[in-house]
Chains A and B, each alone.
Chain A
């Protein structure tokens, strides 16, 4: 895979200089210590565009060691172009082993999905975050949102959810559904579908979030309570795939992609590419369990 040897010689292990990596790790420790709190950090420029996963890369490159096994997905897929591009970059800069196998990986970088396969205690799950500020929709100023978080002043956020419900009969928030972490901070989980939200709650893995462009890091430590925002009588729910199944496996308990074939027919297929592969290969597999998935009949 290493095509350009010149780079390997030229750049530090994992591209970023050690001082900056240390800075990022310090900020990550702070983030872990205050679950859900956004820690500002330097966010050095990376050779990929802002908005294309620089924050995730900062985290990955700062915590990665030579023995790590690295997996990266974009939209649930190991094969998506951006995932391929970043995988190649990380590999070029570190020479660590890469994998598609969720259970084998020690570091998993993601854009917009949590794997269907359950995460384990020795895994770090790293999110690329386009907009770290869950309150941005109700308050445009950074100065103000920081203050709102500081004082747990979340009324506006709640009212916006109330408004959504009265206008549309449901909470019209989709991917990136806001959550409350450790009963304190409201956090943007990055644009993962609602399907994935319950899997953050009491997860065995460490979840790290990097928003490069907005220069913020935050974290959900293992075994932390993560709750979607909901009212007593107006509840959060996950995407509804009732009556649909994966056309390849007939499986119903996974997040599905909607496909249109050339003949115009519509099909659904399991989004998580590694999960799909394992199902088809009948490999051993332990899926996340939560009250929403568990309700679905297989």
Chain B
């Protein structure tokens, strides 16, 4: 079995997000060369520009960079949390990968989000509704995918909570009463509720205690191995990237400065910025 060019799961081309009012020079006067993502002429902010990559089924891709490099923007654009300025994204299981999902109607985007994607945010409040129980949060995803049977919903929710090592007897409690690590586990349960082929993880361990971080990372690794979900892992932390990913994109000032196999990026970084990043790894 060989991977051909056509075997991709997600294909992203020239993804760009600019805030403010860019002019024709904005893209030429921002980026790593200028050490800035703010257009000197119009003050427009280039959150990310010309981001292109392919993600294969079951692949784990890391996006690394410092804060403000645009790494979260990339996944949030792909998860439709914000509107792109330019660019396209194609998802194989949706319309045979022929439609630019970023330009679909909101209703179709919701379908894609519910059936084909999951997202785990840094802040559990972004991914969970704290007014609902943890089971209710998982139910939301299942309901959106058309499950209208409470018994089945609860069965699936307990299965997911078990898998993510959240005590099942806490299914009917609100996540606000959970620890940070447990909230992330609930978020992960919700994200994978409908067995999506693609999962976005945005700084999921940032802000957690080191020991809790480790457990969440272990969980993600296990899920990846067991379910074979393709993932995009956004992190400023190279040790997270090293532990989880096959391939890595290095972002600076909204642009890709380097991409390659994760062990290559870590052991033989080519770009000056990647070298700096790796050398500061403890």
Contact = CB atoms under 8 A, between A and B. Distances in A.
Interface of A: 147, 150-153, 155-156, 158-160, 162-163, 165-167, 231-234
A147 B106 CA distance: 10
Contacts, number: 51
B213 interface: no
A234 B154 CA distance: 12
What DSSP secondary structure best describes chain A's contact surface?
Answer: helix
B143 A233 contact: no
A167 B150 CA distance: 13
Nearest to A162: B139
A232 B135 CA distance: 18
10 smallest CB-CB distances across A and B, nearest first, come from A232-B149, A155-B144, A158-B143, A159-B140, A234-B150, A163-B136, A231-B150, A151-B107, A159-B136, A155-B140
A67 to B, nearest CB: 45
A175 B189 CA distance: 35
B202 to A, nearest CB: 21
Given A152-B107, A163-B136, A233 B172 contact: no
A233 B129 contact: no
A167 B139 CA distance: 14
Given A151-B106, A159-B140, 11 more contacts: A153-B107, A156-B129, A158-B143, A158-B148, A160-B132, A163-B133, A166-B133, A166-B154, A231-B149, A232-B149, A232-B150
B132 A159 contact: yes
A227 B218 CA distance: 46
19 contacts: A147-B106, A150-B106, A151-B107, A153-B110, A155-B140, A158-B139, A158-B148, A159-B137, A159-B140, A160-B132, A162-B136, A162-B150, A163-B132, A163-B136, A166-B133, A167-B172, A232-B149, A232-B150, A233-B149
Given A231-B148, A233-B151, A151 B139 contact: no
B53 to A, nearest CB: 29
